[in-house]
Structure 1
């Protein structure tokens, strides 16, 4: 059963990637306009071990604004934690693959918690939407939903 579930998940992720990458769906309806100046980022990131530094964890300082990812700290079930860890590792790979730009999202600089809201771009593609295509995130629609079955 677990093998069949894993195979189904992989098939869905590949299908989503093909549909988005092949431009068969228009994501502009769910991804707000990116505006303002774009900052080019070219540095090496690591997983966070504590506060500070250039590291990737859970959006405490800069929130990748176009996606909703599973929680890795205040998760509600083991599956959410496992998927959140995979999303974190994958985003770490993506940001370390080369320079990218950070742009304002939906004309907002910060959220209600003071986190900077940014969309990460490389070669005209949102790094967040890569996670969506791979089944590791959802497009941000303004509401958090459960990652647990």
Structure 2
């Protein structure tokens, strides 16, 4: 049983509540990039179970939604949160993780707020079709 607890503690890291600003500049330690990506303890993470709108999107509607998603993730990560590694990385080298607050998925919270979609294995456009 002792070994099991050591594995559980190593598997899910908990971050104490602290201000999590939006990233700016080159030195990134603890900050939010956008609605599904953040830096924590100097490492870059992507929330594995969602796709959020892009801040550099081609349409204003997606950029506005991306700003809302970024702000919401920033607010959520100001609480105590747990990072559960999936053991996978995306094509940009970001660690894919599940993030939870009070045992509830942050990804599911963003989806419920209309600020993210469930990840379908590929990026989907948020801009309305012309």
| Same fold, judged at TM 0.5 (above) | yes
Q: Deviation digits for residues 72-113 of structure 1, max 9, x if unmatched?
A: 03x1211110000000000111010x21100123xx331122
Structure 2 gap segments, 5+ residues each: 1-9, 39-43
Alignment match, 1:49: 24
Shift of 1:53: 2.7
Distance between the aligned counterparts of 2:52 and 2:102, measured in 1? Answer: 22
**Aligned-pair Cα RMSD in Å:** 1.5
Shift of 1:44: 2.5
Q: Following superposition, which runs of at least 4 residues in structure 1 exceed 3 angstroms of deviation?
A: none
Q: Are 1:69 and 2:43 an aligned pair?
A: no
Q: TM-score, normalised by structure 1?
A: 0.69
Q: Which has the higher strand share?
A: 2
Which has the higher relative contact order, 1 or 2, with Cα contacts under 8 A spaced 6 or more apart? 1
Q: Are 1:90 and 2:72 an aligned pair?
A: yes
Aligned length: 110
Q: TM-score, normalised by structure 2?
A: 0.78
